[in-house]
Amino acid sequence: MLPPGVTAQEISYRSGRKQVIYTAPYPSEGPLLARDLLGRQAWMFMYAHFVFTWVEGAVQVQVSHGTLSGPKMPLWKGISIPAYWSGPALADFGRAWALDQMTGNRGTPAAIYFEESEWQ
């Protein structure tokens, strides 16, 4: 039996070899309406430990690494967001942006390899 959200997927190599890999969903928190360190209202959203902070009236988001309630390490400032200020808009943007960072030209998809016997 697999943990919740974990799925098995069989991949095939050009050599004909097949292997089962297991993927798990990325962690997510929010969106949450909060106040930043200067007391300004801001939407916050975390996906795959990328934390997005969007201050009210801003046209750019700040991206950190961490969780909503824990410590954060600043990564990028001033990432343009083409949407009206709202929690759902930040969540949609954050998911797409994080996946692009992890699967685009900057990296490879995250996959966890387990022996099938570990889950039985």
Q: What is the pLDDT of residues 75-85, one digit of tens each?
A: 988 899 999 99
Residue whose token pair is 């889950």: 119
Strands 50-55 and 60-66: antiparallel
Q: What is the pLDDT of residues 48-72, one digit of tens each?
A: 999 999 999 999 999 999 999 999 9
Q: What is the pLDDT of residues 9-59, one digit of tens each?
A: 898 999 999 999 888 889 999 999 998 778 999 999 999 999 999 999 999
Residue whose token pair is 């990028």: 76
In 3D, which of 77, 31, 75, 30 has the Cα closest to residue 58? Answer: 77
The model's pTM is 0.73
